[in-house]
Amino acid sequence: MSSQKQVRRKTVKDIAKAKKGDPLVCLTAYDAPRAALIDPYCDLILVGDSVGMVVHGLDSTVGVTMEMMILHGKAVMRGSEEAFVVVDMPFGSYEAGPVQAFENASRIMQETGCQAVKIESGTYAGEIVSFLVERGIPVMGHVGLRPQAIHVDGGFKAKGRSGDERQRVIDEAKAAEAGGAFAVVIEGVAEDLAREITEQLSIPTVGIGASAACDGQILVIDDMLGIFDWTPKFVRRYGDVKGEIVRSVEAYASDVKARTFPGEAETYQIKANLRNS
């Protein structure tokens, strides 16, 4: 019998256990090296459409394409072994209806090998979620602040501040659950609303800017690592990767200009016996 450790990816059932167990640890990732680094610590890795802003320099997620999500989804799958991997469905890939959603969701799963897709689920999306789940595609919902809807909302604004808006967020979450979603991301809402939704749903909630009342937490990895000068209020910086990169590049540039890099240790030399042969 092989002595090698048998690696098993987490499943929908593993994620569901968070409703009565330890909180889910979730992060975004967009490439293989970062996926490999965070894989041992994460229950769920999201290949978020935030890749458009974080990696490609877009000003919103609206311009993200299917091809971009599939490319980055493949990379994350290659880099990870154990975490449950979810790939965002980009704007325009599911809103037209269940058939369009299935065609694009099935393509994402076939080409990346991921375990599930995520959609920004307004109340209209219950039918879409149900259609996908019935056909074998696990779906994660996303309610509250929905980045793909910023042009309707007038920017990235917290949700649930009025009575009507609060009820709409609750209705969105319930519609996702009723459709068969295995979990729901709650973004940009007050703690009491996040707590109410979490208590009312039988599926796990994953918060981002929604307090510790949720069943798990997710952050954009570049935000928590300190890559950018500005981050949202709900982000805690766990590192200063930008500072380390700047310091390293400054040192490299200085060594190149001083001709101290490459040095003897980084230079190939011809062995004496070969030189004289």
Instruction: Show which residues are catalytic.
Output: 187
Answer yes or no: is 120 a known binding residue.
Answer: yes
Cα Rg of the chain (Å, integer): 22
Would strands 116-118 and 205-208 be described as parallel, antiparallel, or unpaired?
Answer: unpaired
Query: CA geometry: angle at 20 spanning 19 and 21, to 5°?
Result: 100
Answer yes or no: is 88 a known binding residue.
Answer: yes
The dihedrals phi and psi of 203, each to the nearest 5 degrees, come to -105, 155
Q: Which tokens is 222 given?
A: 């570049």
Answer yes or no: is 164 a known binding residue.
Answer: no
Is the separation of the CB atoms in 64 and 52 below 8 Å? yes
* Cross-strand pairs, 44: 26, 84
Cis before 147? omega within 30 = no
* Cross-strand pairs, 84: 44
Cis before 262? omega within 30 = yes
Is the separation of the CB atoms in 98 and 89 below 8 Å? no
Answer yes or no: is 192 a known binding residue.
Answer: no
**Cα distance between residue 112 and residue 72, in whole Å:** 9
**Cα distance between residue 142 and residue 49, in whole Å:** 12
Binding residues for Mg(2+): 49, 88, 120
Residues making up the annotated binding site are 49-50, 88, 118, 120
